[in-house]
Amino acid sequence: MSFETISVVGLGYIGLPTAAMFASRKKKVIGVDVNQHAVDTINRGEIHIVEPDLDMLVSAAVQQGYLKAVINPEPADAFLIAVPTPFLPIENEGDIPKPDLRYIEAASKAVAPVLKKGDLVILESTSPVGATEQMADWLSEARPDLTFPQTHGESADINISHCPERVLPGHVVTELVQNDRVIGGMSKRCSERSVELYKTFVMGECVITNARTAEMAKLTENSSRDVQIAFANELSIICDELDINVWELISLANRHPRVNILQPGPGVGGHCIAVDPWFIVSKTPDKAKLIHTAREVNDSKPYWVFEKVRGMVTEFLEQNTNKSEKDITIACYGLSFKPDIDDLRESPALEIAKQISSNHEGPVIAIEPNIDELDVGNIELVSLDSSLTRADIHVLLVDHSQFKKIRLNADFIIDSKGIWI
């Protein structure tokens, strides 16, 4: 049976581009979101998130009548669940963060009433191992009149798979089409139907496995990156103590044909790499030692940078005995979680700027070329030219392309990305 109508539940950074992509291939797409503002914005042909080229895709899809957004699910042939999987609130400091599956549960319960025999349900949200089976149980509890793969295998009425998204923010539109796709069906038939669905727009290979392996594959990709960045961050701290330029060191080591070290920075931000490894650690806490340590190394890096700034304030005062801390202006260059984006959520740079602002007695200014306003503590958003003349201490936190174009000649610089030293 082919897929005439496709429903995407959760119209965020993954769901909306995916919905628009199916619509661009002339499929009827029903996007579902609990956020009325998002629904209204999309139905006007506009977007509520920042992602290159997505505005044109959504505008065309809505105008041509292939995409509409609604609050409550409607019948469709396939349902893709792309809702957030954050952490549960941490009760005690040092506790291992645990995944919060409430959005998947809510989406399953919302979709269940409109399911019919022959439908395909795909979990796209990054999830701990076992979440797809859990989703299948929620669906089957809500619809005892239908059969599901956990009890009926190949002959089930409803097919269920986990097909994790793996696209890089800022490159979503191209990566959705070009990346290979991991397809983890709960049965062979679930996988085959999922491949058929994704082949609507995916040019990369759709590689079949089971649901648990697909869940672990996504977590492994992001954990691998986290562990590698932790190695670079640990090296940067070691090199600082040994008076070695870590960026020169890494570029030398990377000349070895089998070495490829990533870049140190102020810490790891975003909603994926700093979160997903915990899904492995919380499931197997006694076994996931390296992954756990990498998280701790990366999470502690912003505080290390902050301590370096405090040390530089002391040094400045030792060299300028006529001044007090109140006279020192500190400039933070970059606040987003990675270069050339406007996303400040889960940003180590923003965390460092906040720490500086709440501990420093003098003015704190920030230069963030990708945003127009800032409402954080008493940090003043200024232009690059203004900061270059006003600041006494320059703290580079994000390697935005605008910052790479200049050479800063100043006595007091902390460069967490190695572009000015």
Angle at 152 between CA 147 and CA 157, to 5 degrees: 35
Identify the active-site residue in 27, 218, 354, 417: 218
Provide, rounded to whole angstroms, the least separation between the CB of residue 66 and ligand SAJ.
25
Contact positions with ligand SAJ (CB under 6 A) in 330-389: 337-338
Q: Closer to ligand SAJ by CB, 209 or 263: give it.
A: 263
Q: Phi/psi class of residue 264: alpha, beta or left (left: φ > 0; alpha: ψ in -120 to 50)?
A: beta
Q: Quick one: which of 266, 298, 300, 240 has its CA closest to 397? A: 266
Identify the active-site residue in 163, 206, 272, 332: 272
Pairing of strands 5-9, 379-381: unpaired
272/127 Cα distance (integer angstroms): 11
Q: Is 206 designated active site? A: no
Return the residue nearest ligand SAJ (CB atom). 272
Q: How far is CA 55 from the centre of its chain?
A: 20
Among 229, 330, 379, 419, binds ligand SAJ (CB under 6 A): 229
Helix, strand, coil distribution of the chain in percent, nearest 5: 45, 15, 45
Widest Cα–Cα separation across the chain? 82
Angle at 86 between CA 132 and CA 178, to 5 degrees: 65
| 415 beta partners | 396
Contact positions with ligand SAJ (CB under 6 A) in 130-159: none
Provide, rounded to whole angstroms, the least separation between the CB of residue 121 and ligand SAJ.
20
Give the Å distances, CA to CA, from 243 to 218, 246, 311, 351: 38, 9, 16, 26
Among 262, 317, 374, 408, binds ligand SAJ (CB under 6 A): 262
Q: Is 404 designated active site? A: no
Among 47, 158, 173, 268, binds ligand SAJ (CB under 6 A): 268
339/334 Cα distance (integer angstroms): 8
Q: Which stretch binds ligand SAJ (CB under 6 A): 31-39, 136-144, 248-256, 266-274?
A: 266-274
Q: Report if residue 16 touches ligand SAJ, rule: CB under 6 A.
A: no
Q: Closer to ligand SAJ by CB, 131 or 156: give it.
A: 131
Provide, rounded to whole angstroms, the least separation between the CB of residue 224 and ligand SAJ.
7
Q: Which stretch binds ligand SAJ (CB under 6 A): 1-9, 59-67, 132-140, 259-267?
A: 259-267
Residues near ligand SAJ (CB under 6 A) are: 126, 165-169, 221-222, 225, 229, 262-263, 265, 268-270, 272-273, 337-338
Q: Which residues are catalytic?
A: 218, 272
